[in-house]
Structure 1
Amino acid sequence: MLYLLIFVAKLIEVTMATIRNVLINRGEKLKGSFIAFFEILIWIYVVGAVLENVTEDPLKVVVYALAFTLGNYLGATIENKLAIGTACIQVVIKSDIKGILSDALREKGFGVTIMQGQGKAGEVDLMMIYLKRKRLDEATAIVNEYSPDAMIVINDVRNLKNGFIKK
């Protein structure tokens, strides 16, 4: 029973820590700090349980380490589903497709900025699309539909002021 308690508590604590780190890195300091309070409470109790008689029961350390590992994975998975924050998609396309692709993106509520460029094989256009991370799959699907060979780069955006982002 103690092993299960250590495992579940550590799993929850590390999952919370992963989400807290992402929130703070994305500028959500208050939410991250709120999570940190509960995270540290769990950590103190779990560490105390693991260290008590650790030499006589080293299996507690193994359970602790397994939960730590799984907690990181689970936290990253949950954060990816929550998709907190803003992203920028940069799309490099052949110039002849820019009109139809930008129209399709704008029709779905995406703001698109287009710049001309020069690639190895000739003229290209660079589209920049700033959007909520929750809409990344939707936007990349549209790009792939109209230009399957487009080069797509996705970056997280920490701060953004002005511009057009559909909520």
Structure 2
Amino acid sequence: MMNILLILILQLIYVPIYTLRIIFLVKQMKFTASILGFLEALIYVFGLSLIFSGDQSVIAMIVYALGFAIGIAMGGYIEEKLAIGYTKLAINLIHNNEKLISELRNAGFGVTVFVGEGKDSIRYQLEILTSRNREKELIETIKRFEPSAFIISYEPKQHIGGFLTKPIYDILKKKKI
């Protein structure tokens, strides 16, 4: 019975580490990913040795699979809370909503406005790049001012320059003086 509990605990540690390792690798954080990979391999080998040592219990294998499934959910939850990286939103509006644009800028979001031609009329598109941990706040603000806005959110691989990096450059300039 102790082995069964240990297998579950190991899976609940192993799988979130596995999930985070993949995410860090995709985000090109190779050093962090390699450290997590080491821990992942260590836990994986130890867990498998528990399952395949002695008589293979069906219950142990089921607990292993159950721990894997729960671990995936935990890894996703942890990644969502860490919110590493940036997100870019394209918001399509029927009308130019100056109140919304002003509110977003006052909240610290860099907003670029484009005017385009839609099927039936002129459309306005707001383009905003922000850190992922502010995405929910941004969408809630947009929905408060424009409930029928069409919003597309995606994660850019990289960005150079622009509104988000300006404060960093300002800090570096002050240190050089």
Partner Cα distance (2:33, 2:55) in 1: 32
2:74 pairs with 1:74? yes
Letter in 2 for 1:29: K
Between the aligned partners of 1:158 and 1:29, the Cα distance in structure 2 is: 15
The aligned counterpart of 1:12 is 13
In the alignment, structure 2 segments of 5+ residues that lack a partner are 169-177
Q: Secondary structure at the match of 1:87?
A: strand
- Hey, what's the Cα distance between the residues in 2 that align with 1:25 and 1:92? 29
Deviations 1:93-118, CA, capped at 9 Å, x for gaps? 12331x22111110011001111122
Gaps of 5+ in 1: none
Q: TM-score, normalised by structure 2?
A: 0.88
Contact 1:116-1:125 within 8 A present in 2 as well: yes
Counterparts of 1:1-40 in structure 2 under 5 Å? 1-40=2-41
> Amino acid of the residue matched to residue 63 of structure 1?
V
Deviation at 1:54, TM superposition (A): 4.7
User: Partner letter of residue 102 of structure 2?
Assistant: D
- The corresponding residue for 1:89 is 89
Runs (4+) off by over 6 Å: none
The answer for the alignment partner of 1:142 in structure 2 is 141
CA distance in 2, matches of 1:54, 1:72: 27
Counterpart for residue 62 of structure 2? 62
Name the CA distance, whole Å, in 2 between partners of 1:123 and 1:4. 62
> In structure 1, the residue corresponding to 2:96 is in which secondary structure?
helix
Q: Tell me the CA shift for residue 162 of structure 1.
A: 0.7
| Larger RCO (CA within 8 A; separation ≥ 6) | 1
CA contact (8 A) 1:54 1:61 kept: no
Q: Determine the structure 1 residue equivalent to 2:172.
A: none
Q: Take 1:46 and 1:102, find their aligned partners in 2: how far apart are those partners?
A: 53
Taking structure 1 as reference, are residues 47 and 118 closer, same or farther at Cα in structure 2, changes over 3 Å only?
Answer: same
What is the one-letter code of the residue matched to 1:94?
Answer: I
Return the offset for 1:53. Answer: 3.0
* Root-mean-square deviation (Å): 1.4
Please give the alpha-carbon distance, in whole angstroms, between the structure 2 residues aligned to 1:34 and 1:54: 33
